[in-house]
Structure 1
Amino acid sequence: MNTPLLRLEDVKQTYKPKSAKFGVRRTGMIRAVDGVTLDVATGETVGLVGESGCGKSSLARLIVGLERPATGRVLWQGRDLAAMSRGETSAFRRGIQLVFQDPFASLNPRRTIGDSIAEGIHTHGLMPRQQVPYRVDELLADVGLDPTHADKYPHECSGGQLQRVGIARALALSPKLLVCDEPVSALDISVRAQVLNLLNGLKQKHGLTIIFIAHDLDVVQHMSDRIVTMYLGKIVEEGPCDAVYNTSAHPYTRALLSAIPKRLPPGHRIDRVVLEGDPPSPIDPPPGCPFHTRCYTAIADCAHTLPALTDLGDGHQAACLRAHEVRASHVGLPYRAP
């Protein structure tokens, strides 16, 4: 079996909560990532989905090495990040790059676009200084921007152009893995498709591996080979894109799918899933299945039994006591009405 490019082994991350207003102290720890195990193979695109607060961005920070997990291991090409030498850590940081949600906030407003793209090249000493401007022009062309953008400042560019700049800056170090954290959620809807097509094209051209984080499954569908659904810091479902979209086996994934606006063929309908209330607090998650307090198909056992990921075949898994029943139902998916 080939060693995965990236592997997470039972990774957990906790944070100390901020004090509430009026001097009220909060006790306990926020369980942002709660026992995640995940393999990412070379060349694939993994879509990581879930509501805000489910732990997606916290997981992204662990993946790119911005934070160390409280427990568990993050392995890059079989090597534990915590055991890497300085040289190995430097190579790791070149090999994995992050594309941020807000492109304007991720750029220094006092530096030109060209300087921002060139910063990583200079830092890692990848080429002679006199060759860097030519490399910047190549990167701008790669993301569909004219070389004249190198002399502009961030405030002179549109949101779509800035996100292309962010992608160019990530590509400057010739990475193997791009972690895209909600890269199109801050963009106008008319620009989103352009950026998604750009990422797909760059993946093919440069042989990239991509982790694409989003809360919109409709966006993820056009990008991903495999889908991973997170809820309250845990993976509740994962599998090939078609399997998750057409025969999802977790009620939470069904709820996310049913929220996607769809134009249905004549005679078809969707029994939409409307989730009640907000996700439970990650400081004090409920016992049993973390989703049972909002689940439309929960049974008594769900309140005290934490379900493991059930193997449904062909790499499709779901952490639900009724996974097979949910998978066989049409709730949340388009079907021909009787």
Structure 2
Amino acid sequence: MLVGVDLASSGSSGSLLFDPALEELGLLAQSAGMEPVARVACRRKAPDPSLFIGSGKADEIRDLARDCGALEVLFDQNLSPAQQRNLERHLGLPVNDRTFLILGIFAQRARSHEGKLQVELARLQYLSTRLVRRWSHLERQSGGIGMRGGPGESQIELDRRMIADGIRRIQSRLSRVKRQRATQRRQRQRHGMLCVSLVGYTNAGKSTLFNALVKAGAFAADQLFATLDTTTRKLYLGCAQPPQPILLSDTVGFIRDLPHGLVDAFEATLQEAVDADLLLHIVDYSDPHHIERIAQVQTVLEEIGAGDIPQVLVFNKVDAVGPERRPGVLRDTYEWGGSWVPRTFVSAHSGEGLPGLRQVLCEKLFPPPRESDVPS
């Protein structure tokens, strides 16, 4: 069962981030191998400290879950450990939140050693705050001369130490990975190679476009977070004199309310975007909420320190829109944040607009010399 709570104030028109149909949460659940059987959306001025949704709505969800045969309840918002524990007791079902769901998908999709380390680090950091729920079957005992706590407290402390040790080990390994990537970037800079990173909302078609540009054969599918591991290939544009390749990197997709633990854990991967000379911001033009998606990606870019890197907006999936939304021209500019950003319309699937995208890359990376720079 999918549950969403609109926490906008009663006088507002609603939050742009709230999805009343819970479509994205449903796609996330399906990506994790689950099947949504019911959806419940409600509105509150503020979360209930104990049950997040209040006891009345919790009773309603419990009855509906029983009628629908739901085996788990997923919340679109992040729950505190206490709220999660109280909801499980009240509903009599496992309760998880958006962060746990995304972590599960990442764990399924990570392929490289680095990706698996990053996911495991985020998972341990998430679990470290929820040990009281995992060990609630062990009672904390007290009483008797010299007794301080009981077996439950001892088990919790032991588990905390094990998780803390695991976090330190993984952080040490990721530090080595980060140093290796930094060394590779310095080598590329010494050779004067320009770097372009594909960024964008998950399932915007980044990997399909990456394959269309460099024939990489990277995994691409119509699902959220199909690709987690960064892939880098050389791209020859044919406009540089003398001819020289650039490096094109396909990075992990973003999503609204991306857990901070994942942002921190994927620092080594996201660093490819931070150190890029140019960002290709891929947008799913067929998504009716694509304007909000652009804003959400920009928020994450600001958070990781890539907000000031030059961008080109690439409106992908132009072949998936109706005739009334087909652009009159495939290249123009788009106003965003008080400035004008180059924009190009493409279809990574059919190849439409790709020559224009290559031309934009040439103009941004290898601009023609100005008259004042030409020797007389």
Q: So what's the TM-score if we normalise by structure 1?
A: 0.29
Q: TM-score, normalised by structure 2?
A: 0.27
The structure with the largest alpha-carbon Rg is 2
For CA contacts below 8 A with separation 6 or more, give which structure has more relative contact order.
1
Structure with greater strand percent = 1
